Amino acid sequence: MDVRDLQALRDAIRCIPDYPKPGIVFRDITTLLGDAPIFRLAVTELARPWDETVIGHVAGIEARGFILGGAVAHRLGAGFVPIRKKGKLPHETVRVAYSLEYGLDEMEMHRDAVRPGERVLLIDDLIATGGTAEAAVRLLRSLGAHVEAACFVIDLPELGGARRLEALGVPVRSLVAFQGH
């Protein structure tokens, strides 16, 4: 991506200080999604390294990962798989618990959503501590999928999420980085 495109992508992300609580800067991608050329740029750049690779499914993490993941899947000619908060999927599921800042949460996917050995790309809007993405990797691997990479529009490198995923053997692609939380 050239420097101008990168800057345009950064500028399209709205930063809201002290949301949802003091000290957090919320990185709001609704402004990026609402801007047609920038949305297309983000999807093209997320998918680009796999343009020539057979990807079985793109897995998106609820909820912003659904928007980006659906578009990336369409571009790559892959199927899309939703990873959802517990209790939302109607068929037989696999479930994993993961820790949030306060307490535990659980996420699920359909047991028959991916085939053993197939290549899956994981997508979300942002990686912070990496706890959410790590749980998604564990779910996908529990079904035998090969997690080809995890892709994010935004990385918050100070929170160490990318290192955490790479330590699990999952390559990480992110388009822009912001300092702080």
Which residue in the block uniquely carries the two structure tokens 């822009």?
176
Determine, following the binding rule CB under 6 A, whether residue 155 of this chain makes contact with ligand AMP. Answer: no
Determine, following the binding rule CB under 6 A, whether residue 46 of this chain makes contact with ligand AMP. Answer: no
Determine, following the binding rule CB under 6 A, whether residue 24 of this chain makes contact with ligand AMP. Answer: yes
Interacting positions 87-146 with ligand AMP (CB under 6 A): 124-133
Determine, following the binding rule CB under 6 A, whether residue 161 of this chain makes contact with ligand AMP. Answer: yes
Q: How far is CA 18 from CA 24, 131, 169, in A?
A: 5, 21, 34
Task: Name which of 12 and 127 has its Cβ closer to ligand AMP.
Answer: 127
Q: Report residue 122 as tokens.
A: 């994981």
Distance, C-alpha 18 to centroid of its chain: 23
Task: Name residue 20's amino acid.
Answer: P
The stretch near ligand AMP (CB under 6 A) out of 19-27, 39-47, 88-96, 143-151 is 19-27
Instruction: Name the E strands within the chain.
Output: 14-17, 25-28, 57-61, 79-85, 93-99, 104-110, 119-127, 146-155, 172-177
Task: Name which of 3 and 104 has its Cβ closer to ligand AMP.
Answer: 104
Catalytic residues: 64, 101
Determine, following the binding rule CB under 6 A, whether residue 64 of this chain makes contact with ligand AMP. Answer: yes
Task: Name residue 35's amino acid.
Answer: D
Return residues touching ligand AMP (CB under 6 A). 24-27, 61, 64, 124-133, 161
